[in-house]
Structures are given as structure tokens and as C-alpha cells.
Structure 1
Amino acid sequence: MAIQKGDFIKLNYTGKFEDGKIFDTTDEELAKKEEIFNPRGLYGGDVVIVGAGHTIEGLDEDLEGKEVGHSGSIVISPEKAFGPSNSKLIETVSITKLQDRNVHPGLAVELDGRKGIVSRVIGRRVTVDFNSPLAGKTVVYEYTIEKILEADTEKIQGLLALYTGIRDLEIETADGVAKIYIPTGLTFNQRWLMAKNRVASELFKYAGFTEIQIIEKLTAESEAQEIAEIESRAKAELEADSEGEESSEPEI
């Protein structure tokens, strides 16, 4: 069956620059080999909704009409990849504004809360490019469509993993209602707070749900773990305060 817009699919991919350098992949071993492994990342394939903007435009478009099991490669121009480079985001500043005075082209810097890369140094003037490192690049994606997700629980788990990096939450679905059970600590997770409404919105639009219930779940085990974590943080703070007091004593 051909892939259509709105389908939930599991996708494995590797993104490269034209020179063959890999900048992204769902293959954990390859990520480690290429030294781009993120210990907080999830590997083994992403669940995406075709046509929902979960991938760059050029790849998203290429998925339509393909069959499950399809493996292919596509060259994508900047306009349908990560966008063109914006000249307004390239600035020349005095070297005195940078914390690191050992400045050289290629150095990653932060200025006024913005991250950029030094592209040129002339005297005491430094040109910093605040564009995304991927902006203006033609990229190549090799990908495989692993499967179409049919089960509602798989769709929900996939979206949760995509947006929050969290897998294996307890989920129940019936009659258009999805119940997502979360541990208490997750209610304070910034990534979760930013993502939960978007996950719900896409489940309404693409999976046909009419109601999403997010339920805090307490168990004796989770409560004990929560208390242990609080006590551990409190102990660490006390030790830090104690060290601070000792270091502040006047020398005799």
C-alpha cells in the first residue's frame, strides 16, 4: 500500500552533506562511529506523520507514494532542507565582546544568548555566523520506510518519543479517547510541558481522537523514588552550602 499524507510511519534515515560527511542518523552505531552520538537521543527509527512537517520538506515530499520497505536516496536543495543562509544573521563584532580571546575561524561562540560560528578574524574584528550550521547546505538523505503504524497505542508512543524523547508510557485507548499515564515528576519537565499540547493536537487531527486525558500516576515505588531524589538533591545542596561556608572563613 502506497504511503499517503497523514500516515504514521517508522522511518530510518541518515543525513549527509554533499562531501559525504554525516550530520544526522537514526543508526546508533553509525552515530558513535561518526562521533555525532547524542546520549539523550533515541535511535532505532523515528515515528513521523507524512505531510505534518516532522521532517524537512524535501524528504517529507519524497515519502508520498512509496511502499513500506522502500529504501532510497534523495538530494535536497537548501530551500527544501534547512533553508538558505540569511545574511542578516552574519555579524562583525569587536573581539572584546567574546569571552574566549583565542578566536579563530570555526570556533563556536555565544554572544547575547545566541550561538554562532566564527567565520573570519581580521585584526580585532570578528565575523560571526549565527545561521544554523545546516543553513544554505544541499543535503543527501538515505532512508528506509520500515512500517506503517496501525495501532493507536503505537501512534501515541511514536509521537511522544518524537517530541519528548520519552518511550514506554502506559497508554489506554477506547472510543476515541486516549489516556496517557505519566509519573508525577514529568509534570515539571520543560520539554514535556512544551510538547504535550502539540502531541494532543496532532492526535486529534491525524489519528481521529476526540479526547486526550493526561493522568498523573502514583505508585508506592515511584513515590519512594521521588522522595529519594528529593533527599539526594537536599543533601547535595547542604554539602555545597557547607563547602561555601568553609571557603568563606577568613585566613588566620
Structure 2
Amino acid sequence: MAIQKGDFIKLNYTGRFENGKIFDTTDEELAKKEEIFNPRGLYGGDVVIVGAGHTIEGLDEDLEGKDAGYTGTVSIPPEKAFGPGNPDLVETVSITKFQDRNVHPGMPVELDDKKGVVSRVIGRRVTVDFNSPLAGKTVSYEYTIEQVLEADVEKIQGLLALYTGIRDTEIDITDNVAKINVPTGLTFNQRWLMAKNRVASELFKYTGIKEVQLIEKLTAEAEVSAPAEPEVEAEAETEVKEEPSESQE
């Protein structure tokens, strides 16, 4: 069956600039070879929801209508990739702003807590581009749709991995209620605090899940990454329900 919006799929991909340089990949060995390996990243494929904005627009659109097992390449213009460059983020400053006066085009710099790249040097004036290195670039993605996920447990585990970088979370689903055992220490993870409501909202929208319970268990043997507040009990349970007014923290 052709893939459509709302499907959960496992996706492997490699992103390249027009000159062939790789800037992103789910292949760990290739990432190491290209010196873009992130030791905190997950490799082996991402679980994404087609049409939910989990990938850039051009790739997201290209996934529709394909079948599981499909392998192909798509070229994506800036407006459907990482956006056009913003001229307001290109600034010209005096060379005296730099401690190292040996400034040259292509040199990465940081000014006023902003990271950029020197694009031009004329006399004592330096032009710095503070746009993302991906902005304004046409990119291509070679990708493989590994599978379409059918089981709600796999869908939840995939979303949690996408948003938190943690796989194989213990999950139980009964009567459309998903109980997710939150790994010890994740409660103090800023990434998790920002993502948990979005995970729940996407489950409500794209699955038959009606309620999500986030369960944190602390035991004497567990090592806690941050001190608990005095009022935290040995076992705390957080419920996120489909109706915002009924959600509990």
C-alpha cells in the first residue's frame, strides 16, 4: 500500500550539498568517515510521521505515494529545504572586532554570541554571514523507506527516540491508554521537558491512543542524575490526556 500522510515509517537517509559533500546521515560508519559523527546521536534510521514536519518539506512530500522498501534520491531547492538566506543576517564589521587579524573568507567566527562564517574581506572591513550553513542551499537526499510501522508500541518508541534519543522504552498499552515508563533521570532532561507534550499530541492525532501516562519510578538501586525535589515520592505518575483541560503534570 502506498505511503500517505500520517503513516509512521522508519527512514534511512544521507543528505548532500550540490558539490557532493555530506552534511547529514543515519549511517554511523559513513558519519565517522565524513567526520560529522555525533556521539550523542542515534544512527540506524529515524522513525518519522509522514506529513508531520519531522523532515524538511521537500523530503516529506517525496515520501508520499512510495512503498516500503523504496530507495531513491530527491533534489530539494532552498525554499523546501532549510530556507533561503536572510540578508539581514549578513553583517559587515571592522576587522578590529577580531582578536585574530588574519581573517579570511570561509573562516568560522563568533561575534556577540553569534556564530557565522567570513564571506568577504576588503581592507579593514569584514563581511560575516550569520545564516545557518544550510540556508540558501539546494540539497539532495538519498533515502530508503525501511518499513511502515503498524504496532502502536513501535510508533511510540520511534517518537520517543526521535525526540529524546532514547530507544527501547518500556511501554504498555491497554484500552487505548499508553503507559510509558520514563527512564530514570530523563525527568531532568530539558529536551524531554520540551518534547513530552508534543509526543502525546502527535499520538492523539495519528494513532488511536486516547491517554498517555508518563510513569517515573525511582528505586534505591537506581542512580539519579539530578537531586529530586523534597516533595517527589518514590513513584510518581504523570498523565497526559487528549483534552488539554484534563492533562496533569
Normalization by structure 2: what TM-score?
0.86
Alpha-carbon distance in structure 2 between the residues aligned to 1:189 and 1:100: 37
Q: Does 1:94 align with 2:87?
A: no
- Are residue 226 (structure 1) and residue 224 (structure 2) matched? yes
Report deviation, 1:63. 0.5
Match of 1:226, SS state, is coil
Residue-by-residue CA offset, 1:3-30 (whole Å, 9 max, x unaligned)? 0100000000011111111111100111
Query: Does the alignment pair 1:126 with 2:126?
Result: yes
CA separation of 1:157 and 1:101: change in aligned 2, threshold 3 A: farther
Number of equivalences? 227
Matched, 1:20 2:16: no
* Amino acid corresponding to residue 226 of structure 1 in structure 2: V
Shift of 1:151: 1.0
Tell me which protein shows more helix as a share of its residues.
1
* Residue type at the aligned position of 2:71: S
**Over the residues paired in the alignment, what is the CA RMSD in angstroms?**
1.6
Aligned in 2, Cα 1:98/1:173: closer, same or farther, shift over 3 Å?
farther
Distance 1:129 1:200 in 2: 38
Deviation at 1:102, TM superposition (A): 3.6
Q: Percent identity?
A: 81
Residue 211 (1) aligns with residue 214 (2):
no
Distance in 1 between residues matched to 2:107 and 2:224, nearest whole Å: 41
Letter aligned with residue 83 of structure 2: G
Q: Structure 1 pair 93/195, CA: closer, same or farther in 2 (3 Å)? A: same
Which structure: larger Rg?
A: 1
Q: Which runs of 5+ in 1 are unaligned?
A: 231-252
CA distance in 2, matches of 1:156, 1:99: 49
Using the alignment, how far apart are the partners of 1:203 and 1:100 within structure 2? 51
Q: Which residue of 2 aligns with 1:241?
A: none
- 1:177 matched residue in structure 2: 177
Q: Using the alignment, how far apart are the partners of 2:195 and 2:160 within structure 1?
A: 8
2:51 is matched with which residue? Answer: 51
Q: Give the counterpart letter for 1:109 in structure 2.
A: V
Q: Are positions 1:83 and 2:83 aligned together?
A: yes
Distance 2:177 2:21 in 1: 45
> Shift of residue 99 of structure 1?
4.8
For the structure 1 residues 94 and 160, does the alpha-carbon distance in structure 2 shift closer, same or farther, using more than 3 Å as the test? same
> Which structure 2 residues correspond to residues 141-156 of structure 1 after superposition, within 5 A?
141-156=141-156
**Unmatched runs of 5 consecutive residues or more in structure 2:** 228-249
Q: TM (normalized to structure 1)? A: 0.85
**Structure 1 residue 100, shift from structure 2 partner:** 4.3
**Pair 163,100 (structure 1): closer, same or farther in 2 beyond 3 Å:** farther
